[in-house]
Structure 1
């Protein structure tokens, strides 16, 4: 299976980077093929320009990185997103990836001339997994902030595109967690990505 990982965290000593290592370790043990899109290292511009908006209308991307990412996603069976939650949402690079790559003519089109009902174009992708870290307690994130990632990404983006296999793995209160607990989480995530059940 080919797994594309879309990663966003600028600090190499971050817990997100440790998660990335555990995910890739589990996938390698299961002999999956891995392609890592590291947004912080690949010179991706997250800003939607006037040219990009014209491209949105025309359904023809013009950003060379978007075209590159389209080609890489066309080879994927499963996509994993890894990023921190800052101020209840994803960082700018990840938001820009969703804005510019989950794009008409790239990731989806509209059904029968409709401007509302979508159909995925990347039909090779069978599932999406989102992994996030944050320092907010999970109960506050759900009750006070309304599970923003669940609503915006899991449902707001990938449910609308029709992907049925959608998973969100959320690590909360990371800064407050003990080293022992963090290591336990990393071991668990490695085992998770060494199992076929994740991709069903």
Structure 2
């Protein structure tokens, strides 16, 4: 099985990087092939330009990175996003990835010209997992901010595209978490990833 991980965090010493490492080890322990799209290291431009919007209408991407990512995602059986939650939302590069890659003619098409039902184009993709970190207490994030990430990515994006197997792993109050708790989180992520079938 091939796993594509879309990773977004600019700081090498972040806990997200530790999560990326644990997830990668878990997938590799299960003999899955792992392809990491590191948006920061690959200098992905998240800004939607005038030309990109014209390409959206034409359903033909022009950004070379988007074209490259399309080819990589077409090979994915499982898609994973790993990023921090900043001000209750995803970082700009993750949002830009969704804007520019989850794109008509790349990730989906419409059933007919007059129909807004979406047909997913990543035919091998079976499941999507989002792994996030944040400093907001989870109960506050759920009841005050309405689980914004879950609504935006898992429901507002991948549910609309028709993917049924969607999971969200959220680690809250990371800044004050003990070293013991952090190690337990990483161990659990490695174990969960090693059980992917």
1:32 aligns with 2:32: yes
State the match for 2:186 in structure 1. 186
Q: Deviations over 1:113-161 (max 9, x none)?
A: 2352111011111110000000000000011101101111110000000
Q: CA deviation at 1:35?
A: 0.3
State the match for 1:72 in structure 2. 72
CA distance in 1, matches of 2:130, 2:74: 19
The aligned runs of 1:139-150 (5 Å cut-off) are: 139-150=139-150
Structure 2 gaps of 5+ residues are: none
Q: CA deviation at 1:15?
A: 0.3
Task: Give the count of matched residue pairs.
Answer: 197
CA distance in 1, matches of 2:35, 2:95: 20
CA distance in 1, matches of 2:166, 2:114: 25
Partner secondary structure for residue 113 of structure 1: coil
Q: If the length of structure 1 is used for normalisation, what is the TM-score?
A: 0.97
Q: Deviations over 1:61-86 (max 9, x none)?
A: 00000000000001111000000000
CA distance in 1, matches of 2:50, 2:9: 27
State the match for 1:50 in structure 2. 50
The CA RMSD over aligned residues, in Å, is 0.8
CA distance in 2, matches of 1:33, 1:177: 31
Partner secondary structure for residue 17 of structure 2: helix
CA distance in 1, matches of 2:115, 2:127: 24
Partner secondary structure for residue 55 of structure 2: helix
CA distance in 2, matches of 1:13, 1:154: 27
The aligned runs of 1:1-200 (5 Å cut-off) are: 1-196=1-196, 199=197
